[in-house]
Amino acid sequence: MIAFAHVITAIVWLLADSVHGHCVITYPGWRGNNLITNVSFPYGMQRSYPCGGLDVTQNRTAWPITGGAVALQPGWFAGHATALMYLNIWLGLDPDNYATLWPMFEILGPSDNPYPGTICLPQISLPNGLTPSSGDFATIQVVQTLKSGASLFSCADIVFTDDLSQVPSVNETNCFNSTSIKVESVQICWWIIDYRKWDKWESESIPAVYDDDDNNN
């Protein structure tokens, strides 16, 4: 049974004060700089679905047809001490037809202030059923969900290739994991809450987020 503390953790995730977090994709090539806050984007461009306010680019990075690396930096602005990360992918130009590229994970940074550091997944396999051909276009989407519940979006546009000589090198300079950032896998369960409404008992499910370490407590 999951301890009551996990419910409190979930409520904190949902009710914490709003913060402004931002994430940069360093590999493959980022769609573009959307670390921008202005009159048009008072809460920052990265709040805009699906790719942080940026349209698709013609500058696509060659990516292996069987899957490859993704590297990102989650700590550019304040409010990054804790966040949930999602990686999605879609073929062509339709973001509504996406698949999960990597299971959701939680990052634990060294500070709630801006901090340096990189997270790299050196070899991501494609989801089951996703069988692109060499030359097919696709987009990788990175979603960073903050304590406030707000989500931030960034994208990298790729072209699949079966010629590895076309793929930019993945090495210790662009794909490494900083020791200052802790990464944990997480799960979502649903709590059934009974409450009284108009003299009747009704049920409602709410999400509770917890990391795998909690299973051992």
- pLDDT 10s digits, 106-128: 988 777 766 778 999 999 999 99
**Can you give the length of the chain in residues?**
217
Q: How confident is the model at residue 182 (pLDDT cuts 50, 70, 90)?
A: confident
Give the pair of three-digit tokens for residue 215. Answer: 């299973």
CB 42 within 8 A of CB 145: no
- pLDDT at position 126: 97
Q: Which residue has the tokens 């339709």?
A: 94
DSSP symbols for the chain: ---HHHHHHHHHHHHSPP-----EEEES--S------SSS-TT-GGGSTTTTT----S-PEEEETT---EEEE--SSSS-SEEEEEEEEEETT-TTS-EEEEEEEEEE-S-SS-----EEES-PPPPTT--PPTT-EEEEEEEEE-TTS-EEEEEEEEEEES-GGGSPP--TTTS---TTSEEEEEEEEEEEEEEEETTEEEEEEEEEEEEGGGGG-
Greater pLDDT, 181 or 81: 181
- Decide which of 135 and 47 is more confident: 135
pTM greater than 0.85 (yes/no)? no
* pLDDT at residue 161 is higher than 50: yes
pLDDT for residue 53 is more than 50: yes
Q: Write out pLDDT tens, residues 59-99.
A: 899 999 999 999 998 876 666 578 899 999 999 988 888 99
* Residue closest to 113 by CA, chosen among 180, 46, 44: 180
pLDDT for 7 equals 35
Q: Which CATH superfamily is domain 4-216 in?
A: Immunoglobulins (2.60.40.10)
**Position with higher pLDDT, 13 vs 168:** 168
